[in-house]
Amino acid sequence: MSELFEGELYPENNPLVIVEPNGLKNYHYTGELMQSWGIYLASPIDNSSVNSTSIDRQLTQYFRLLLNVTRENFVDNDVNLKLVVRQIKNYRAQHPYTDKLILNIFNAGDAFIFADAFVELESEPDFENVKYEVRIFRGHDRIIEHGEGLKNLLNPESNIRDEAEAFAQPSDNRLFPKLRFSINMIEEYIRQPHLFTSHISFFISPFPVRVELFKPNLPSRCFFLNGLITDSALNVSTANDETKWNRYILASNLSSWKNELSNAAGLFFDCLQSFTAGTLASRPTDSLPSTQITLNALDKVLLAHLHNHSDWVITYDRNLGPEVFDLPSKDNSIPFLLDYIPGDEVSGISSFLTTRPTSEVLALLGPHFQEFGLNIDNESDSRTIHQLLEDLRAVSSSLILQLNSTKNKAFEVIGSAFTKRVLEKKGLLQESFLIPPISIRTCLKIADRNKKQG
């Protein structure tokens, strides 16, 4: 409960879809203008992934300005300051030689979150001499001023924190300022991605959201604390080279609620969804209203470009699942390494950190494998290393990205791969599964915190 009232937990207790009674036009839930003030926008008409999503994010920020919502009261459901700071710190920890960070940000909007992240990082001794080059990529629509937060950061009159002065003051060498940013078109990136290589690419709600009817085939629990917190369910399906995610709310197990008022509210929510679904179908139906995103061939090309020309790609999208990144290997080639903890999105924001197993990644892993007599430059050993990486991906890709932290951590991670292989050969994983050490520690921390809170 303390997380709820301190702003660390963003409950979304709104129906995902509503229908306008006169014209029967449908609207999908986009996010919060401020705490407990949700906003619904009309579903896109065209199939443009770039423009539609940009409009959603821009319109949300435009209405905040229109209603004079101050920045202190913003609730951003797409990206979080703590997440951005933590991920930039993690990259710098694995690449300590980098004194200039090049960041690509897609669908950034006003980018105040990133401006605040740079100020936050400036208080860290390791970031005092780090410079930033930021490239913002947008669609054709210009409803708000893109990158306004970064523009204000360069303005001495807009800064009130001491750490922010480092960005507004002229540098000793004007050719290498503390912060440089540019605004580019996403079409430019698709045409010539090699001109925009970066250390990290931030991909914020990149795909359009549509309204579709969906019939769940598996039971899901979406209500917690007698309906105080709602966590929508997500279903993934693949057909004709397209991947679709349907996000919906299933009102189940209402009879187990002990509070009569909460039970009545849950039944009312269930009836409201039934009416909405019936209106969308123009007839009574057992299906539920859901929001849907579709990944087509063009979207996959953009994802491929991002991973080919960025060390790390960080995707923020609460409507997206990890399936598009957690693909099986083909011809001894690993598509992506994914750092993702299921259940972490309960804070209201989902993030996926992905990278390709490039020569740099393999070079970071090489010294650790040499301790086991494996030479990464040897062709036969290289195949063995790729097999071990695939074993680690099966346990948890998060482990791979921790290999370069400490020597003990590296041995712990590689030991997990050997453990999986031994158990697999003995047939002990046919009806069992492994829980990686990082997941156990996370569970223990949550259990300990819950115990302290009573």
Predicted confidence pLDDT, tens digits, the chain (454 residues): 555 555 555 556 789 999 988 888 899 998 888 877 889 998 766 544 444 345 788 888 889 889 998 888 887 778 888 889 989 998 898 888 899 999 999 988 889 999 999 999 999 989 988 999 999 998 877 788 888 889 989 888 876 677 788 888 777 767 678 899 999 998 899 889 999 999 999 999 888 888 999 998 888 888 877 777 788 888 998 888 788 999 999 876 665 666 777 778 888 888 899 999 999 998 999 999 999 998 888 888 888 889 899 989 999 888 888 877 877 666 656 677 777 765 555 455 778 888 887 666 666 667 777 777 777 777 777 777 777 777 777 776 565 666 555 556 666 777 777 788 788 888 878 777 777 665 555 666 655 655 554 4
Tokens representing 180 are 């440089």
Single out the residue of 79, 167, 80, 157 nearest to residue 123, CA to CA. 167
pTM to 2 decimals? Answer: 0.82
Give the Cα separation of 364 and 368 in Å (integer): 8
**What is the per-residue burial (b if ≥16 Cβ within 10 Å, else e) of 292-312?**
bbbbeeebeebbebbbebbbb
Q: Which amino acid is at 233?
A: A
Cβ neighbors of 105 (< 8 A, separation 6 or more) are 111, 114, 134, 135, 136, 137, 201, 202, 204
φ, ψ of residue 335 in degrees (nearest 5) = -70, -55
DSSP alpha helix (H) spans, 67-124: 81-94, 112-122
DSSP H or E segment with residue 185: strand 179-185
Dihedral sign of CA atoms 188, 78, 251, 344 in order: positive
Give the Cα separation of 451 and 454 in Å (integer): 5
Cβ neighbors of 153 (< 8 A, separation 6 or more) are 115, 118, 119, 159, 164, 167, 168, 179
DSSP H or E segment with residue 418: helix 407-425
Cβ neighbors of 363 (< 8 A, separation 6 or more) are 376
Residues in a beta bridge with 181: 134
